[in-house]
Structure 1
Amino acid sequence: MKINYFWDKDYSLNEIGIQLNPQNQHLTTKLDLNLNGYPKLEVINPMNERKSTINYSEIYLIEAMDHLSKIYTIDEKIFYAKGRLKEFEALSINGIIRINNSVMLNLTEVVAFNNGQYARLEVHTKNGQTHIVSRHYAKQIKEEFQCLKN
């Protein structure tokens, strides 16, 4: 994505104007989240079953379980959250994308990817792990990864 800056003295010092093509209307939510701060997700600590919140930016991976989802954070903590992966698909705005039927991954943690067997994609993360992206989600992952790089 290309970003252009326009300087206008008519704007006040605490105001920013953003112009978008109408086809990019879906990006407004993403921009709002990045500029105004990330919302939090309510999670359950498995050690003491206490509820707490974490920022979406702290999420490394979400793994499907039965009626709960297992949340792995970037600093290697594990939490549970109520809901299935389908309910977390709105997190794609924050770069947390579904990579197969049972896993969602934070794309900001991806350092490289390469083609795997049977039109699948292998994704390598900052902590040295490799995850397999199913062929159904491979094209979407490549597009999102290219957008993050630009």
Structure 2
Amino acid sequence: MNITILLDKLINKEDLIIKTNPVNSELAKSLKSYLENGMKVTVINAKNDRKVQVDTHSILVFQSEGHMCSVKLKSGELYLINKRLKELENLDKTNFAKINNQTIININEIKEFSSAPNARLEVLLSDKSSYFVNRNYVKIIKERLSC
């Protein structure tokens, strides 16, 4: 299978056009679903120790908890993931950003931000939770938010 990517300035930046032979329609549907819904990660429900697949789009925050991380979903549910924060940094760089040594947030869920003491930022997420962006990450976050 050959894959060719053509860049065209005339296409709206929100559009992605995929052309394929009808023989590849199932593959095209799978690719569309993946692009629309994002990746899935396996998390652990701490109450019953069951593993659950969740879309990365539904994740609000990853927070370091020793050798594991807690995962907070937009719905408010809390899970665990058997990975260190460092392993999650490259998960989905378009939607997630590290804001301090303990936290990675979903950039798309930032509703407000303001200056905080010691050259930091305070971000307010869609669930009304607030986090501090360490001064080492402020520039990156501001660039990602296009400020």
Question: Normalising by the residue count of structure 2, what TM-score does the alignment of the two structures yield?
Answer: 0.75
Rounded to whole Å, the distance in 2 between the matches of 1:34 and 1:4 is 24
Identical-residue share of aligned pairs (%): 28
**1:79, 1:120 → 2: CA distance?**
28
Offset at residue 4 of structure 1 (A): 3.6
Task: Name the counterpart of 1:15.
Answer: 19
Which structure has more helix as a fraction of its residues? 1
Q: What is the aligned partner in structure 2 of residue 74 from structure 1? A: 74
User: Any idea what SS the aligned residue of 2:137 has?
Assistant: helix
User: Runs of at least 4 residues of structure 1 off by over 4 A?
Assistant: none
Say if 2:44 is the partner of 1:44.
Answer: yes
Equivalent residue runs for 1:82-121 within 5 Å: 82-121=82-121
Match of 1:5 in 2: 10
Report which structure shows greater RCO (CA 8 Å, sep ≥6).
Answer: 1
The within-5 A match list for 1:123-142 is 123-142=123-142
Alignment partner of 2:128: what SS? coil
TM-score, length-normalised on structure 1? 0.74
Shift of 1:121: 0.6
2:68 & 2:102 partners in 1: Cα distance?
12
In the alignment, which residue of structure 1 is the partner of 2:58? 58
Distance 1:135 1:40, change over 3 A: same
How many pairs does the alignment contain? 125
Q: Deviations over 1:27-70 (max 9, x none)?
A: xxxxx997364111011001100011100001100010111100
Where does the alignment leave 5 or more consecutive residues of structure 1 unmatched?
8-12, 17-31
Asked if 2 retains the 8 angstrom alpha-carbon contact of 1:91 and 1:97, the reply is no
CA contact (8 A) 1:110 1:126 kept: yes
In 2, Cα distance between equivalents of 1:34 and 1:53 = 14
**Unaligned segments of structure 2, at least 5 residues:** 1-7, 21-31
CA distance in 1, matches of 2:42, 2:75: 17
- C-alpha deviation, 1:92, in angstroms: 4.1
User: Does the 8 Å CA contact 1:120/1:138 hold for their aligned counterparts?
Assistant: yes
